Amino acid sequence: MAVLIALALFVAQAVNFGLALRERAEFRLAQATRPVAVRIADAIERETQGVRPIPRDRGRIRRADRDGIPPALPRLPELASELRTQLHEQGVEVGRIDTGVRGWTPADDAVLGRGFPRGNRVRDERDRPAQALLIAIERPGHGWLAVIVPWGENGSMRLFWRLFAQTLILYGIVLLPVLWIARRISRPLRDLTAAAQRFGRGGDAPVAVEVRGPADIAGLVSSFNALQLRVTAMLDEKDRMLGAIGHDLRTPLAALRVRVESVEDDTDRTRMTETIAEMNRTLDDILSLARMGRPSEPLTEVDLAALVDAVVEDFRDLGQDVAFEEAARLRMRLRPSLIRRAIRNLIENAVKYGGGAEVRLVAEERRVAIEVADRGPGIPGERLGDVFEAFTRLETSRNRDTGGIGLGLALARTIVREAGGDVRLANRDGGGLCATIELPR
């Protein structure tokens, strides 16, 4: 907000500066041309009446045979246009008008004579103008008139510094108090943001935010504190419910597992045992997914390379074709059991649908990537985002004989996002899929 106010003040002052410069330029043109037009009209009228002819060798207005302004001098076409307008208003019609600016010379002092602004001759160097404005005016059929007038320095820089000082004063009067007020208002908002981020990560008991600031901000903080308590109570109730569901479902499954042992047919007993084991794994996945956001496992500093290697070794012990490219030690603070489960889910998918997995750990300056690649059928490009939805299965490449119920990728992404990262899927050149876990360092 303070930046926007400062920018608005700057734009307003810039517009003010532009208008002031334009107004000053117009005033300067009028100040330079109006007296000249009046003098020329007066001189022409007196010469026409025979009162006083226009001289050739002295005075501000002299008669000339041609345009005597050197071509190398800088021109002022806008001044010539304004002078033509002023002469027209005085009833004097002229032909061409030429202008030129040069430095003031001592000879110009004698030319001006009593016409100098102080009412007398130039007394010292401080009185002498910086520049002389030369004007040549063509009178059709009557030759040219040569005019010389003082041309002072442009006051644009003086005006600039004056406006700059005004801007500083305006910033001091308006912006500094606004910054102070904005800081007072933003402090409780920053506390509220930090509390919301802590609460969103879960795992810690909610801490009430101190109620302070303006009435609307204080009301917002109070509402957040009340909402935090209500959500925490709902999550606690959900955890108790999930615990009860897990207990009530595992008890009959355990009883079934015991009864299965009495089945005489080895084939039937094996199938029943595998079905009960699959039901237990499904129940674990569903409960784990439902409990995400309030993990009970604390953050621990672990060696991520060793953790990935341990997961790979578990698959190797089961005779699975899983390769791991050795990586240097990498200390990170995370929840090891959850991250291990996410990596295991990705490797299980690679083994089921690709026959094996190639695991690689890539450490960069700001992130760490765990890549799990396979040479399976892959996933259609338009369905890469769908497989992260719970209970989503792609029948064209994953069947019930080899797949689960569609919770592996959903659970893996939920775990990684809770850690501040994400999971990406990409089809490999030549076939297969690469699943990447990205974690911030």
* pLDDT tens per residue across span 9-64: 777 777 777 777 777 777 777 777 888 888 888 888 888 887 788 877 777 788 88
| Higher-confidence position of 318 and 127 | 318
Does position 313 have pLDDT exceeding 90, yes or no?
yes
* Of 349 and 175, the one with more pLDDT: 349
Q: Is the pLDDT of residue 94 over 60?
A: yes
Mean pLDDT of the chain: 79
Mean pLDDT of 62-91: 84
**Integer Cα distance of 400 and 268 in angstroms:** 19
- What pLDDT was estimated at residue 277? 79
At position 203, the amino acid (one-letter code) is G
Q: What are the angstrom distances between the C-alpha of 430 and each of 375, 376, 402?
A: 8, 10, 23
**pLDDT higher than 70, residue 275:** yes
Closest CA to 416 of 432, 433, 434, 436: 436
CB 394 within 8 Å of CB 383? yes
Highest mean pLDDT among 15-29, 93-107, 163-177, 378-392 belongs to 93-107
Question: pLDDT-based confidence at 204, cuts 50/70/90?
Answer: low
Please tell me the predicted confidence (pLDDT) of residue 200. Answer: 61
Is pLDDT above 90 for 327? Answer: no
Tell me the C-alpha distance between 354 and 279, whole Å. 24
Q: Residue 395 pLDDT > 60, yes or no?
A: no
HSE, side-chain direction, 13 A CA sphere, residue 425: 21
pLDDT of residue 165: 81
What local confidence, expressed as pLDDT, does residue 187 receive?
A: 85
- What secondary structure letter does DSSP report for 228? H
Which range, 107-116, 138-147, 386-395, 432-441, is most confident? 432-441
102-127 pLDDT tens trace: 887 777 666 655 444 444 444 455 55
Q: What is the pLDDT of residues 8-20, one digit of tens each?
A: 777 777 777 777 7
The arithmetic mean of pLDDT across residues 331-342, rounded, is 89
Left (φ > 0), alpha (ψ -120 to 50) or beta: where does 213 sit? left
Q: Is the pLDDT of residue 368 over 90?
A: yes
Highest mean pLDDT among 202-206, 228-232, 286-290, 345-349: 345-349
User: Any alpha helices (H) in 292-390, and if so which ranges?
Assistant: 304-317, 336-354
Residue 422 has pLDDT above 60, yes or no: yes
What's residue 391's pLDDT?
A: 65
Strand partners, 133: 101, 149
Distance in Å from the first CA to the final CA of the chain: 32
pLDDT of residue 434: 93
pLDDT at 424: 92
Angle between the N-to-C axes of helices 176-201 and 2-48, in degrees from 0 to 180, rounded to the nearest 10: 150
How confident is the model at residue 103, as a pLDDT? 81
Residue 336 Cα distances to 153, 282, 332, 347, 402, angstroms: 77, 21, 10, 16, 27
Instruction: Give CA separation, 72 vs 51, 99, 155, 256, 294, in Å.
Output: 37, 11, 24, 110, 84
pLDDT of 152 above 70: no
pLDDT of residue 398: 45
For residue 203, the model assigns a pLDDT of 54
Mean pLDDT of 149-176: 71
